[in-house]
Amino acid sequence: MNILVVGGGGREHAIVAAIERSRQDPSIYAVMSKKNPGIAALCEDFLLEKETNVEKVVEYAVSKNIELVVVGPEAPLSVGLADALEAEGISVASPKQKVAQLEFDKAWARNFMRKNNIAGCPIFDVFTDKDAMDAFIDELGNVAIKPAGLTGGKGVKVMGDQLPNLKAAKKYAASLLDMGSVVVEENLVGEEFTLQAFVDGKNLAFMPTVQDHKRAFENDLGPNTGGMGSYNAAGEILPFLTAEDVESSKQIMNDTIKALYKETGQEYKGTLYGQFMITKDGPKVIEFNARFGDPEAMNVLPLLESDYVDVLAAMASGTLDKIDVKFSSKATVCKYAVPAGYPDDPTKDREVTVGDIGDAILFYSSVYEKDGKVYTTGSRAVAVVGVADSIEEAEEIAQNALENISGDLHYRSDIGKSFLIQRRIDHMNKIRGQ
């Protein structure tokens, strides 16, 4: 089977590695904007091209007799890559434009949730007018401000974080009106977590819950990033969640998939990423993404015991209920090494060398290979994943590996450490009034 993976980051390296483990011995192809050495090493052939160049990607897929495609990042989904590939008779295990809207139009997504009575929707409204928006901001008193469109994780600002007060919130919200509609919602208090599922249009197969760390520096300080690292516990439930929290979140995702079909007449096929805040009132939806998270893909895909190619084919053909999707009950800790100065003023084009990383799994992200050497680009560079029976052991594996990767890099040594996890548990206990 010829399979094409679109995208060249750490998430896509994890996707390619999982496909490569398949018993079906598939031939793997890739389209990526820069040569990711990890992906290139596992591919039959690859095309260096912008992933949003729909015409070029389709042309490449046709020329290589591709039978199945996985699209890693959101940008190509927002310009209809899945639709264009399917029009050529190629199976795609990623969502079409109409249903991927759930990610790339936050205003649409919130209105859709409200209209369909999806649980966990925060109090919100969508605005194109400053006066009405200011009044709503005052009414809520504590808000998150979101531009409706894709911003690569840089558009949302929250009071108490990036926005010191109501005046700053109004000013920021007004500045976004030029780009389109603005979503204003209540500021949710709790702990964030990720629940991802494979979806075939009707059936969902859930993955273990994961927690990402967005802040650049130790102790959750500094600016937001694409994600500095993430962990999961052995089994599917994070230490600060209850089984009921996870069940309610699954219900929300099941209801969302049903409602999406009702609303658009189109089936959602592919990975669905649910980003939740667990609050005193249970899980609330921060947003949905129409693809794996990066780093979260690197936690869960190494644990997938079922054949990923079977899962991909089942998503595309609507037969996920016919296969048993299993994950091994292990903990993982994923940590990113990023360029010095990342995210605000990162160094670039610095060599990265990988020494003895022991039992850790390595995924290359935003790096490029030239003359056999690997260089940084300014974005997250390489991730290492420890897999073990406990989070502590997994953390040690990841940490030891990072210490043997050299370059002009930094990382968060606290991710996955017991004191930080205990802080999450204490935080939730306090919120739940325990």
Ligand X SMILES: Nc1ncnc2c1ncn2[C@@H]1O[C@H](COP(=O)(O)OP(=O)(O)O)[C@@H](O)[C@H]1O
Q: In angstroms, rounded to a whole number, what is the distance separating the alpha carbons of residues 183 and 203?
A: 30
Single residue of 275, 317, 319, 413 touching ligand X by CB under 6 A: 275
Single residue of 43, 188, 338, 361 touching ligand X by CB under 6 A: 188
Handedness of CA 267, 273, 277, 278 (dihedral sign): positive
Is there binding between residue 220 and ligand X (CB under 6 A)? no
Q: Which does 174 bind (CB under 5 to 8 A by kind): Mg ion, ligand X, none?
A: none
Q: Which does 155 bind (CB under 5 to 8 A by kind): Mg ion, ligand X, none?
A: ligand X
Nearer to ligand X, 29 or 136 (CB): 136
Q: In angstroms, rounded to a whole number, what is the distance separating the alpha carbons of residues 208 and 92?
A: 24
Single residue of 12, 51, 105, 185 touching ligand X by CB under 6 A: 185
# of chain residues touching ligand X (CB under 6 A): 15
Collapsing DSSP states into helix, strand and coil, what is residue 231?
A: strand
Q: Which does 312 bind (CB under 5 to 8 A by kind): ligand X, Mg ion, none?
A: none
Is there binding between residue 156 and ligand X (CB under 6 A)? yes
CB–CB of 96/86 below 8 Å? yes
Amino acid present at 66: I
Nearer to ligand X, 107 or 144 (CB): 144
Single residue of 122, 229, 274, 407 touching ligand X by CB under 6 A: 122
Amino acid present at 364: Y
Q: In Å, how far are 265, 308, 417 from 329, measured between CA atoms?
A: 37, 17, 19
Question: How long is the chain?
Answer: 434
Q: Which does 13 bind (CB under 5 to 8 A by kind): ligand X, Mg ion, none?
A: none
Q: In Å, how far are 82, 184, 198, 305 from 312, measured between CA atoms?
A: 14, 36, 8, 14
Is there binding between residue 163 and ligand X (CB under 6 A)? no
Relative to beta strand 269-279, strand 191-200 is antiparallel
Is there binding between residue 107 and ligand X (CB under 6 A)? no
Nearer to Mg ion, 124 or 368 (CB): 124
CB–CB of 28/3 below 8 Å? yes
Nearer to ligand X, 220 or 408 (CB): 220
Stretch that binds ligand X, among 22-30, 89-97, 186-194, 325-333 (CB under 6 A): 186-194
Q: In angstroms, rounded to a whole number, what is the distance separating the alpha carbons of residues 233 and 237?
A: 7
Q: In Å, how far are 75, 205, 274, 322, 402 from 314, measured between CA atoms?
A: 24, 11, 21, 8, 36
Is there binding between residue 95 and ligand X (CB under 6 A)? no
| Contact map string, positions 230 to 269, toward ligand X, x by CB under 6 A | ----------------------------------------
Q: In angstroms, rounded to a whole number, what is the distance separating the alpha carbons of residues 43 and 3?
A: 10
Minimum CB separation of residue 264 from Mg ion in Å reads 22
Amino acid present at 407: G
Q: Which does 299 bind (CB under 5 to 8 A by kind): Mg ion, ligand X, none?
A: none
Q: In angstroms, rounded to a whole number, what is the distance separating the alpha carbons of residues 61 and 54?
A: 10
- Per CB under 5 A, residues contacting Mg ion are 275, 287
- Per CB under 6 A, residues contacting ligand X are 122, 144, 146, 153, 155-156, 158, 185, 187-188, 192, 214, 275, 286-287
